[in-house]
Amino acid sequence: MTDFAVAIDLRKFKYGDEQLLRNAFRQEDILSMQWNRSKVIGLAKVSCCSCHGYGLRVVHKTREVPCHCVFRSIFRACYNRFRDCVASGAHTSTVSLEFCRGKEGRRVYSRKKEEYIADFCLVSQGALNDQEKGVFKAHFLLGADWKLCCRQLGMDRGNFFHMVYRIEQRLGRIFAELEPYALFPLDEYFGRTVTGQPTRPLPPPAAVPLRRKPVIEIPRAA
């Protein structure tokens, strides 16, 4: 069962009814992905059986959508950067001054490594269910291998790796489509590309007229 498929009521399904089969797929999952081949071909797996290394696969005989191997590649790139940020946590990270579209100001101080670690964990926890959170915490955050995870979580090897693949596919897609600032591409996250309206300089303050002090004439001595 893929992420694009949903449950079909077989009692309402008739042979040759293609409209019901089309409605069985979540349209927002397909129409929201508007990636071209140049964006996904570098992330695709060469030995993938679905896209054959092109990064796009055909659904409904006419529409092209990103392959699952692309989402897994995005997640692994974000996960490797997450591990690098955690490994350098003992050292003090630099504070950067970057532009933003705020209400009170146009610039803000930030610590990119700490922010990326927090975004990676919070986004992942909000997108996974309880069972997937256990696998994500044990395998990806704590670094346990599949043998220890299967023994602690009461799972067999097949179900464990299937769940790992589902986690990578779901989070990889979310990391790439997160708004307004996605976690992937990484260079745009750490470079902080400002989206939306271009930043404009603040208007100059209104001119305040100067009050002249009254001139006091000192009488001259006779």
Per-domain boundaries in the chain: 68-191
Instruction: Say which DSSP state 54 is in.
Output: S
Give the span between the Cα atoms of 44 and 222, in whole angstroms: 101
More confident residue, 54 or 209: 54
Across the range 195-221, mean pLDDT stands at: 63
> What average pLDDT does the chain have?
77
Least confident of 33-47, 56-70, 115-129, 172-186: 33-47
Give the span between the Cα atoms of 71 and 3, in whole angstroms: 12
Give the span between the Cα atoms of 161 and 138, in whole angstroms: 13
Across the range 36-55, mean pLDDT stands at: 88
Question: What is the model's pLDDT at position 195?
Answer: 52
Question: What is the model's pLDDT at position 136?
Answer: 97
In whole angstroms, how large is the CA radius of gyration of the chain?
A: 27
Q: Which residues are paired to 99 by β-bridges?
A: 107
User: Scanning the structure block, which residue is given the tokens 């929201």?
Assistant: 32
Under the banding of pLDDT at 50, 70 and 90, the label for residue 138 is very high
Question: What is the model's pLDDT at position 145?
Answer: 94
